[in-house]
């Protein structure tokens, strides 16, 4: 019975791969890759010649039987475009199927964008939550961010460049302008940058200087609850109104974040209409 190896690969700099990962890739019967073109660059760099098959979001279910059959003949290494396979990348279904079939599954750890961003953010690292990619739709994204309104732990999330400014606007409306934040982009690459500041400062920065490349957000946890003053409540309601949030829903969100009674917040919301 072959072993399914989950092999972490570099997130940018090709030198960020372990000796164990290179050995595992070289000894595998085949490598299941999210993007065979990307993986081939890594294999050529280290002169590894092992058969490649594609395993990505659009064929992951159709490929299960094929990969399981190959595991019946020997070891298979699973890799994603970058980082650890299965973490916001295809892999869960294959891991589950391999375990159900009695195969051994073993992770070969290595580079990780969320962890690299977290430890270099300057925000607390003792406890954190990982959200994966923020939802594409604004309403779903705001709902996801709402779960962080009273969350004390640091939060990690991925975002794409063309949605970053809108995500920051939603964050400011839901979490407040002063919530601490780090925006890490292009980690380990030539143009690596980590912006550290408040949500409002990040929004101002990236509205005027659009971000490019892979982005990881590190969102500071909620501080000890203190009731907002009226000016801040009105500002949050104005932002919710700009986003098109219905008054009752805006009042609920702002009340949860501000410590104000929902009825009072709703009254302010109706006054500002």
pLDDT in tens, the chain (273 residues): 899 999 999 999 999 999 999 999 999 999 999 999 999 999 999 999 999 999 999 998 999 999 999 999 999 999 999 999 998 888 999 999 999 999 999 999 999 999 999 999 999 999 999 999 999 999 899 889 988 988 899 999 999 999 999 999 999 988 888 999 999 999 999 999 999 999 999 999 999 999 999 999 999 998 866 678 888 888 888 888 888 889 898 898 888 778 788 899 999 988 876
Contact status, residue 75 vs residue 106, Cβ threshold 8 Å: no
pTM of the predicted model as reported, rounded to 2 decimal places: 0.81
Contact status, residue 7 vs residue 46, Cβ threshold 8 Å: no
Q: How many beta carbons lie within 10 A of that of residue 145, not counting itself?
A: 25
Just give the CATH number of 114-219.
Answer: 3.30.950.10
Q: Which residues of 169-205 are buried (b: 16+ CB within 10 A; e: fewer)?
A: bbbbbbbbbebbbbbbbbbbeeeeebbbebbbbbbee
Contact status, residue 168 vs residue 249, Cβ threshold 8 Å: no
Ordered by start, the domain boundaries in the chain are: 3-111, 114-219, 230-271
156: nearest Cα among 128, 175, 188, 184: 128
What would the two tokens of residue 201 be?
């400062």
Just give the CATH number of 3-111.
Answer: 3.40.1010.10
**CATH topology identical between 3-111 and 114-219:** no
């Amino acid at each position: 019975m072959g072993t399914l190896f989950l092999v972490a690969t570099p997130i940018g700099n090709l030198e960020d791969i372990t000796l164990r990962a290179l050995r595992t890739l070289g000894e595998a019967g085949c490598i299941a890759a999210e993007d065979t073109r990307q993986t081939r660059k890594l294999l050529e760099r280290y002169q590894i010649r092992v058969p490649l098959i594609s395993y990505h979001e659009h064929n992951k279910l159709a490929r299960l039987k094929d990969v399981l059959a190959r595991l019946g003949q020997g070891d298979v290494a699973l890799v994603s475009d970058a980082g650890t396979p299965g973490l916001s990348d295809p892999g869960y279904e294959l891991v589950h199927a391999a375990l159900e079939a009695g195969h051994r599954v073993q992770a070969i750890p290595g580079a990780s964008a969320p962890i690299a961003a977290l430890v270099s953010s300057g925000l607390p690292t003792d406890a954190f939550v990982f959200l994966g990619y923020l939802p594409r739709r604004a309403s779903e994204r705001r709902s996801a961010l709402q779960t962080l309104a009273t969350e004390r732990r640091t939060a990690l999330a991925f975002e794409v460049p063309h949605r970053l400014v809108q995500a920051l606007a939603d964050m400011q409306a839901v979490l407040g302008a002063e919530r601490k934040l780090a925006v890490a982009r292009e980690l380990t690459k030539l143009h690596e940058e980590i912006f550290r500041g408040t949500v409002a400062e990040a929004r101002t920065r990236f509205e005027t200087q659009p971000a490019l490349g892979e982005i990881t957000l590190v969102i500071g946890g909620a501080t000890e609850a203190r009731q907002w003053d009226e000016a801040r409540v009105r500002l949050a309601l104005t932002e919710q109104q700009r986003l098109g949030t219905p008054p009752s829903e805006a009042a609920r969100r702002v009340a949860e974040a501000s410590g104000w009674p929902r009825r009072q917040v709703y009254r302010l919301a109706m006054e500002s209409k």
